[in-house]
Amino acid sequence: MAAHDWFGCERAEAPRADLPLIEAVHAEPLVTALQEMCARGGGRIDADTVALPGTYEAALRGAGGAAALVDALLGDGARTGVSALRPPGHHAETDRMMGFCFFNSVAVAARRARDAHGAERVLILDWDVHHGNGTNEIFHADPGVLFVSIHESPLYPGTGPASDVGSGPGEGYTVNLPVPGGTGDEGYGSLVEHVTGRLIADWRPQLVLISAGFDAHYDDPLAGCRVTEEGYAGMTASIRRAADAVGAPVGLVLEGGYDLGALSRSMAALMPVLVAEETPAPESLDVHPLAERALERLAPYWPGLRAAP
Ligand SMILES: [Zn+2]
Protein backbone atom coordinates (compact mmCIF):
# COMPACT_ATOMS: atom_id res chain seq x y z
CA MET A 1 0.00 0.00 0.00
CA ALA A 2 2.76 2.42 0.98
CA ALA A 3 4.65 1.52 -2.23
CA HIS A 4 1.60 2.76 -4.15
CA ASP A 5 1.40 5.97 -2.12
CA TRP A 6 -1.77 4.57 -0.49
CA PHE A 7 -3.61 4.88 -3.83
CA GLY A 8 -4.28 8.53 -3.16
CA CYS A 9 -6.28 7.80 -0.01
CA GLU A 10 -6.30 10.03 3.02
CA ARG A 11 -4.81 8.02 5.91
CA ALA A 12 -6.06 8.13 9.49
CA GLU A 13 -4.94 6.32 12.63
CA ALA A 14 -7.59 3.95 13.95
CA PRO A 15 -9.08 5.18 17.22
CA ARG A 16 -9.88 2.82 20.09
CA ALA A 17 -13.53 1.86 19.99
CA ASP A 18 -15.51 3.11 22.99
CA LEU A 19 -16.85 0.29 25.12
CA PRO A 20 -20.53 1.11 24.34
CA LEU A 21 -19.68 0.62 20.65
CA ILE A 22 -18.22 -2.84 21.34
CA GLU A 23 -21.03 -3.73 23.73
CA ALA A 24 -23.64 -2.88 21.12
CA VAL A 25 -22.42 -6.11 19.50
CA HIS A 26 -20.75 -8.21 22.21
CA ALA A 27 -21.80 -9.32 25.68
CA GLU A 28 -20.03 -7.35 28.41
CA PRO A 29 -18.40 -10.48 29.98
CA LEU A 30 -16.58 -11.22 26.69
CA VAL A 31 -15.09 -7.72 26.66
CA THR A 32 -14.06 -7.95 30.31
CA ALA A 33 -12.60 -11.44 29.82
CA LEU A 34 -10.34 -10.27 26.98
CA GLN A 35 -9.27 -7.16 28.86
CA GLU A 36 -8.37 -9.15 31.98
CA MET A 37 -6.62 -11.92 30.03
CA CYS A 38 -4.43 -9.41 28.19
CA ALA A 39 -3.68 -7.49 31.41
CA ARG A 40 -2.41 -10.78 32.89
CA GLY A 41 -0.07 -11.27 29.93
CA GLY A 42 -2.34 -13.10 27.51
CA GLY A 43 -3.68 -16.61 27.16
CA ARG A 44 -5.22 -19.22 24.93
CA ILE A 45 -8.92 -18.86 24.04
CA ASP A 46 -9.21 -21.91 21.79
CA ALA A 47 -6.89 -24.16 19.79
CA ASP A 48 -6.06 -21.42 17.28
CA THR A 49 -6.99 -18.20 19.06
CA VAL A 50 -4.30 -16.80 21.34
CA ALA A 51 -4.42 -13.42 23.05
CA LEU A 52 -1.15 -11.57 23.58
CA PRO A 53 -0.67 -8.65 25.98
CA GLY A 54 -1.43 -6.19 23.16
CA THR A 55 -4.43 -8.02 21.73
CA TYR A 56 -7.09 -6.09 23.68
CA GLU A 57 -5.70 -2.77 22.44
CA ALA A 58 -5.38 -4.10 18.87
CA ALA A 59 -8.93 -5.48 18.89
CA LEU A 60 -10.27 -2.16 20.23
CA ARG A 61 -8.51 -0.34 17.40
CA GLY A 62 -9.65 -2.92 14.83
CA ALA A 63 -13.26 -2.26 15.78
CA GLY A 64 -12.66 1.47 16.22
CA GLY A 65 -11.11 1.76 12.78
CA ALA A 66 -14.05 0.01 11.16
CA ALA A 67 -16.47 2.33 12.98
CA ALA A 68 -14.39 5.37 11.95
CA LEU A 69 -14.58 4.15 8.36
CA VAL A 70 -18.38 4.19 8.61
CA ASP A 71 -18.25 7.71 10.07
CA ALA A 72 -16.18 8.82 7.05
CA LEU A 73 -18.61 7.17 4.62
CA LEU A 74 -21.94 8.13 6.18
CA GLY A 75 -20.93 11.23 8.14
CA ASP A 76 -18.33 12.90 5.96
CA GLY A 77 -19.50 11.85 2.51
CA ALA A 78 -16.57 9.68 1.45
CA ARG A 79 -17.65 7.26 -1.29
CA THR A 80 -15.24 4.44 -0.53
CA GLY A 81 -12.70 3.52 2.12
CA VAL A 82 -10.73 0.75 3.76
CA SER A 83 -10.09 -0.37 7.31
CA ALA A 84 -6.88 -2.41 6.89
CA LEU A 85 -6.39 -3.64 10.44
CA ARG A 86 -5.86 -6.90 12.28
CA PRO A 87 -6.98 -8.91 14.19
CA PRO A 88 -9.84 -9.99 11.94
CA GLY A 89 -13.35 -10.15 13.40
CA HIS A 90 -15.94 -12.12 11.44
CA HIS A 91 -15.77 -15.33 13.52
CA ALA A 92 -16.43 -13.48 16.81
CA GLU A 93 -19.98 -14.06 18.03
CA THR A 94 -21.98 -12.10 20.60
CA ASP A 95 -20.42 -13.99 23.49
CA ARG A 96 -17.66 -16.07 21.91
CA MET A 97 -14.17 -15.27 20.59
CA MET A 98 -12.81 -17.82 18.11
CA GLY A 99 -10.92 -18.34 14.86
CA PHE A 100 -8.26 -15.60 15.39
CA CYS A 101 -11.15 -13.17 16.08
CA PHE A 102 -11.89 -11.21 19.29
CA PHE A 103 -14.25 -8.30 18.47
CA ASN A 104 -16.35 -8.47 15.32
CA SER A 105 -15.19 -5.27 13.63
CA VAL A 106 -17.53 -5.40 10.62
CA ALA A 107 -20.48 -6.01 12.94
CA VAL A 108 -19.42 -3.04 15.07
CA ALA A 109 -19.24 -1.01 11.84
CA ALA A 110 -22.73 -2.07 10.73
CA ARG A 111 -24.16 -1.28 14.17
CA ARG A 112 -22.46 2.12 14.04
CA ALA A 113 -24.17 2.78 10.70
CA ARG A 114 -27.55 1.79 12.12
CA ASP A 115 -27.28 3.49 15.54
CA ALA A 116 -25.24 6.65 14.89
CA HIS A 117 -26.12 7.41 11.27
CA GLY A 118 -29.71 6.12 11.06
CA ALA A 119 -28.97 3.70 8.22
CA GLU A 120 -31.96 1.38 7.87
CA ARG A 121 -30.36 -1.01 5.39
CA VAL A 122 -26.73 -2.17 5.55
CA LEU A 123 -25.46 -4.96 3.32
CA ILE A 124 -22.37 -6.92 4.35
CA LEU A 125 -20.66 -9.06 1.71
CA ASP A 126 -18.24 -11.51 3.35
CA TRP A 127 -15.92 -12.98 0.69
CA ASP A 128 -13.41 -14.41 3.19
CA VAL A 129 -13.02 -18.11 2.32
CA HIS A 130 -14.32 -19.08 5.78
CA HIS A 131 -17.92 -18.60 6.80
CA GLY A 132 -18.43 -15.44 8.88
CA ASN A 133 -20.28 -17.28 11.62
CA GLY A 134 -20.02 -14.35 14.03
CA THR A 135 -21.61 -11.81 11.73
CA ASN A 136 -24.16 -14.45 10.71
CA GLU A 137 -25.13 -14.96 14.37
CA ILE A 138 -25.13 -11.30 15.41
CA PHE A 139 -27.56 -10.21 12.68
CA HIS A 140 -29.49 -13.50 12.31
CA ALA A 141 -32.85 -11.99 13.24
CA ASP A 142 -32.15 -8.43 12.02
CA PRO A 143 -33.86 -7.40 8.76
CA GLY A 144 -31.80 -4.19 8.70
CA VAL A 145 -28.52 -5.96 8.00
CA LEU A 146 -28.40 -8.22 4.94
CA PHE A 147 -25.49 -10.61 5.41
CA VAL A 148 -24.16 -12.34 2.29
CA SER A 149 -21.34 -14.85 2.71
CA ILE A 150 -19.41 -16.73 0.04
CA HIS A 151 -17.34 -19.45 1.68
CA GLU A 152 -15.68 -22.76 0.94
CA SER A 153 -17.59 -25.78 2.26
CA PRO A 154 -16.71 -28.02 3.93
CA LEU A 155 -14.18 -25.90 5.82
CA TYR A 156 -13.71 -24.24 9.23
CA PRO A 157 -15.90 -23.33 11.11
CA GLY A 158 -18.45 -25.65 9.49
CA THR A 159 -21.39 -23.22 9.63
CA GLY A 160 -23.21 -21.38 6.84
CA PRO A 161 -25.21 -23.95 4.86
CA ALA A 162 -27.39 -22.52 2.09
CA SER A 163 -30.40 -23.50 4.20
CA ASP A 164 -29.43 -20.98 6.91
CA VAL A 165 -31.42 -17.94 5.77
CA GLY A 166 -31.81 -16.05 9.06
CA SER A 167 -34.58 -16.24 11.62
CA GLY A 168 -37.67 -14.39 12.83
CA PRO A 169 -37.94 -10.94 11.23
CA GLY A 170 -34.49 -11.55 9.71
CA GLU A 171 -35.60 -14.56 7.67
CA GLY A 172 -34.30 -14.05 4.13
CA TYR A 173 -31.72 -11.47 5.26
CA THR A 174 -28.96 -14.05 5.71
CA VAL A 175 -27.72 -15.31 2.35
CA ASN A 176 -25.23 -18.16 2.62
CA LEU A 177 -23.44 -19.08 -0.59
CA PRO A 178 -21.22 -22.11 0.12
CA VAL A 179 -18.85 -23.09 -2.70
CA PRO A 180 -16.75 -26.23 -3.20
CA GLY A 181 -12.97 -26.19 -2.80
CA GLY A 182 -11.28 -25.24 -6.06
CA THR A 183 -13.81 -22.50 -6.86
CA GLY A 184 -12.06 -19.64 -8.65
CA ASP A 185 -12.75 -16.30 -10.28
CA GLU A 186 -15.71 -17.48 -12.38
CA GLY A 187 -17.68 -18.89 -9.43
CA TYR A 188 -16.81 -16.12 -6.97
CA GLY A 189 -17.21 -13.40 -9.58
CA SER A 190 -20.60 -14.62 -10.67
CA LEU A 191 -21.89 -14.89 -7.09
CA VAL A 192 -20.81 -11.29 -6.50
CA GLU A 193 -22.10 -9.89 -9.80
CA HIS A 194 -25.29 -11.89 -10.27
CA VAL A 195 -26.37 -12.58 -6.69
CA THR A 196 -24.88 -9.86 -4.46
CA GLY A 197 -25.14 -7.20 -7.17
CA ARG A 198 -28.80 -8.00 -7.76
CA LEU A 199 -29.49 -7.98 -4.01
CA ILE A 200 -27.97 -4.48 -3.89
CA ALA A 201 -30.10 -3.34 -6.85
CA ASP A 202 -33.26 -4.82 -5.34
CA TRP A 203 -32.83 -3.88 -1.66
CA ARG A 204 -31.01 -0.56 -2.15
CA PRO A 205 -28.78 -0.60 0.96
CA GLN A 206 -27.54 2.76 2.26
CA LEU A 207 -24.11 1.27 2.94
CA VAL A 208 -22.21 -1.73 1.57
CA LEU A 209 -19.48 -3.24 3.74
CA ILE A 210 -17.12 -5.92 2.45
CA SER A 211 -15.73 -8.37 4.99
CA ALA A 212 -12.66 -8.80 2.85
CA GLY A 213 -10.54 -11.83 3.55
CA PHE A 214 -7.98 -12.85 0.95
CA ASP A 215 -7.75 -16.51 1.89
CA ALA A 216 -9.76 -17.66 -1.15
CA HIS A 217 -6.59 -16.77 -3.13
CA TYR A 218 -4.90 -19.72 -4.85
CA ASP A 219 -1.69 -19.17 -2.84
CA ASP A 220 -3.40 -19.20 0.55
CA PRO A 221 -2.29 -22.09 2.78
CA LEU A 222 -5.51 -22.43 4.83
CA ALA A 223 -8.05 -23.21 2.11
CA GLY A 224 -8.49 -24.63 -1.36
CA CYS A 225 -10.12 -21.95 -3.50
CA ARG A 226 -8.45 -20.48 -6.59
CA VAL A 227 -9.27 -16.75 -6.72
CA THR A 228 -6.65 -14.53 -8.40
CA GLU A 229 -5.71 -10.89 -7.87
CA GLU A 230 -7.70 -10.04 -11.01
CA GLY A 231 -10.61 -11.92 -9.48
CA TYR A 232 -10.59 -9.68 -6.39
CA ALA A 233 -10.40 -6.59 -8.60
CA GLY A 234 -13.33 -7.91 -10.66
CA MET A 235 -15.48 -8.56 -7.59
CA THR A 236 -14.69 -5.05 -6.38
CA ALA A 237 -15.78 -3.65 -9.75
CA SER A 238 -19.09 -5.56 -9.50
CA ILE A 239 -19.75 -4.14 -6.04
CA ARG A 240 -18.80 -0.59 -7.09
CA ARG A 241 -21.16 -0.74 -10.09
CA ALA A 242 -24.07 -2.03 -8.01
CA ALA A 243 -23.45 0.29 -5.06
CA ASP A 244 -22.92 3.37 -7.23
CA ALA A 245 -26.23 2.69 -8.98
CA VAL A 246 -28.09 2.99 -5.67
CA GLY A 247 -25.88 5.72 -4.18
CA ALA A 248 -24.39 3.51 -1.45
CA PRO A 249 -20.82 4.09 -0.27
CA VAL A 250 -18.56 1.04 -0.04
CA GLY A 251 -16.30 0.25 2.92
CA LEU A 252 -13.82 -2.63 2.90
CA VAL A 253 -12.85 -4.21 6.23
CA LEU A 254 -9.89 -6.60 6.25
CA GLU A 255 -10.52 -10.13 7.53
CA GLY A 256 -8.31 -13.20 6.88
CA GLY A 257 -5.58 -13.91 4.35
CA TYR A 258 -2.54 -15.94 5.34
CA ASP A 259 -0.19 -15.63 2.38
CA LEU A 260 1.08 -12.10 2.78
CA GLY A 261 2.24 -11.85 -0.85
CA ALA A 262 -1.19 -12.90 -2.10
CA LEU A 263 -2.84 -10.49 0.34
CA SER A 264 -0.76 -7.49 -0.67
CA ARG A 265 -0.97 -8.21 -4.42
CA SER A 266 -4.75 -8.64 -4.16
CA MET A 267 -5.16 -5.37 -2.25
CA ALA A 268 -2.93 -3.62 -4.79
CA ALA A 269 -5.10 -5.00 -7.61
CA LEU A 270 -8.44 -4.00 -6.14
CA MET A 271 -7.58 -0.59 -4.64
CA PRO A 272 -7.51 1.34 -7.95
CA VAL A 273 -10.97 -0.09 -8.69
CA LEU A 274 -12.31 0.66 -5.22
CA VAL A 275 -11.13 4.27 -5.11
CA ALA A 276 -11.65 5.20 -8.79
CA GLU A 277 -13.55 8.43 -9.43
CA GLU A 278 -15.56 6.79 -12.18
CA THR A 279 -17.87 3.82 -11.78
CA PRO A 280 -16.14 0.77 -13.34
CA ALA A 281 -17.31 0.04 -16.89
CA PRO A 282 -19.98 -2.66 -17.26
CA GLU A 283 -18.75 -6.17 -18.00
CA SER A 284 -20.70 -9.12 -19.22
CA LEU A 285 -20.12 -12.06 -16.92
CA ASP A 286 -21.64 -15.49 -17.48
CA VAL A 287 -24.08 -16.71 -14.87
CA HIS A 288 -22.13 -19.56 -13.25
CA PRO A 289 -24.13 -22.65 -12.18
CA LEU A 290 -23.39 -21.73 -8.53
CA ALA A 291 -25.13 -18.39 -9.07
CA GLU A 292 -27.96 -19.97 -11.04
CA ARG A 293 -28.72 -22.34 -8.16
CA ALA A 294 -28.42 -19.54 -5.59
CA LEU A 295 -30.93 -17.39 -7.49
CA GLU A 296 -33.37 -20.32 -7.53
CA ARG A 297 -32.99 -20.79 -3.77
CA LEU A 298 -33.44 -17.08 -3.09
CA ALA A 299 -36.53 -16.64 -5.28
CA PRO A 300 -39.04 -17.19 -2.42
CA TYR A 301 -37.41 -14.40 -0.38
CA TRP A 302 -36.25 -12.13 -3.19
CA PRO A 303 -38.72 -12.36 -6.08
CA GLY A 304 -37.15 -9.34 -7.76
CA LEU A 305 -33.76 -10.97 -8.28
CA ARG A 306 -34.42 -13.18 -11.27
CA ALA A 307 -35.94 -10.37 -13.26
CA ALA A 308 -32.99 -8.08 -12.66
CA PRO A 309 -30.67 -7.39 -15.59
ZN1 LIG B 1 -10.74 -16.73 6.59
How does pLDDT run across 190-245, given as a tens digit for each residue?
999 999 999 999 999 999 999 999 999 999 999 999 999 999 999 999 999 999 99
Cα(274) to ligand 1 centroid in Å equals 21
Per the prediction, the chain carries an average pLDDT of: 97
Q: Which residues are known catalytic residues? A: 91
307 falls in which pLDDT band (50, 70, 90)? Answer: low
pLDDT over threshold 60, residue 308: no
Q: Which residues of 86-98 are buried (b: 16+ CB within 10 A; e: fewer)?
A: ebbbbbbbeebbb
The span from the CA of 160 to the CA of 229, in Å, is 25
pLDDT over threshold 60, residue 146: yes
1 falls in which pLDDT band (50, 70, 90)? Answer: confident
Cα(89) to ligand 1 centroid in Å equals 10
pLDDT at site 90: 98
Percent of the chain with pLDDT over 90: 96
Quick: pLDDT tens for 35-86.
999 999 999 999 999 999 999 999 999 999 999 999 999 999 999 999 999 9
Cα(102) to ligand 1 centroid in Å equals 14
Residue 49 has phi, psi (to 5 degrees) of -125, 110
Q: What is the DSSP letter of 170?
A: G
Cα(50) to ligand 1 centroid in Å equals 16
What is the DSSP secondary-structure string of 227-262? B-HHHHHHHHHHHHHHHHHHT--EEEEE-----HHH
Q: What is the DSSP letter of 279?
A: P
The pTM for the full model equals 0.98
pLDDT at site 296: 96
